[in-house]
Amino acid sequence: MKIGIYGGTFDPIHIAHLIIAEYAYSDLSLEKLYFVPSYTPPHKRSKCITSHVHRLNMLKLAVEENSKFAISEFEINRQGPSFTVDTVQYFSAQYHLTRSDIYVLIGADNFNDFHTWKEPEKIVSLAQIVVAGRPNAGMLNSKICDFISLHSPLIDVSASMIRKRINQNKSVRYLMPEKVLQYIHLHSLYI
């Protein structure tokens, strides 16, 4: 069983996330791609993050019609800081997977900081690293570890940009699934 693990804050989930996931599923011949929303992202502890309940609900709305995608609530149920190494160990043990079965998706904007993550060597020993291009990410430091480049479209959309536009009462239509946008308006998020 080949699976992809795509962790993140998803605050909110948007089209760039979904396109990266779709390309990873297809290009890596995965059997399932798991979105893993973080409970408390260790690199964003000082930032205000939307409740995990809302982030999870938006993620469910975004992927509900795509049978290739699933959501793992492992990090949310575990609570506390969300570390990729713990998540990879969980999937490895839970599904009896080897390194050749697990692909961890990382955006190029985060990859150059991979060496600062908790136990990056352990992550690399348990999973293959897949780096998705991001606009303005710069050169990738290939000395960190071997990785697979995912050649997905470079779409300059970020969750922070979406939150800012919503806060400024500007349109974010087409930047996320319509159901997610409706949820944001219904719950008055990001204003």
**pLDDT tens, residue by residue, 149-182:** 999 999 999 999 999 999 999 999 999 999 999 9
Q: What is the pLDDT of residue 45?
A: 60
- Start-to-end Cα distance in the chain: 42
Residue 27 · residue 150 · CB < 8 Å? yes
pLDDT, average across residues 56-72: 98
Domain boundaries, the chain: 3-155
User: Is the model's pLDDT at 131 over the cut of 70?
Assistant: yes
User: Is the model's pLDDT at 6 over the cut of 80?
Assistant: yes
User: Is the model's pLDDT at 106 over the cut of 90?
Assistant: yes
User: Is the model's pLDDT at 31 over the cut of 60?
Assistant: yes
Q: Which residue has tokens 């352990």?
A: 122
CA atoms within 13 A on the CB side of 66: 21
φ, ψ for residue 30 (rounded to 5)?
-80, 155
**Which one of 3.40.50.620, 3.40.50.150, 3.40.50.2300, 3.90.470.10 gives the CATH number of domain 3-155?**
3.40.50.620
Residue 165 · residue 145 · CB < 8 Å? no
Residue 28 · residue 152 · CB < 8 Å? no
What does the mean pLDDT of the chain come to? 94
pLDDT, average across residues 77-83: 94
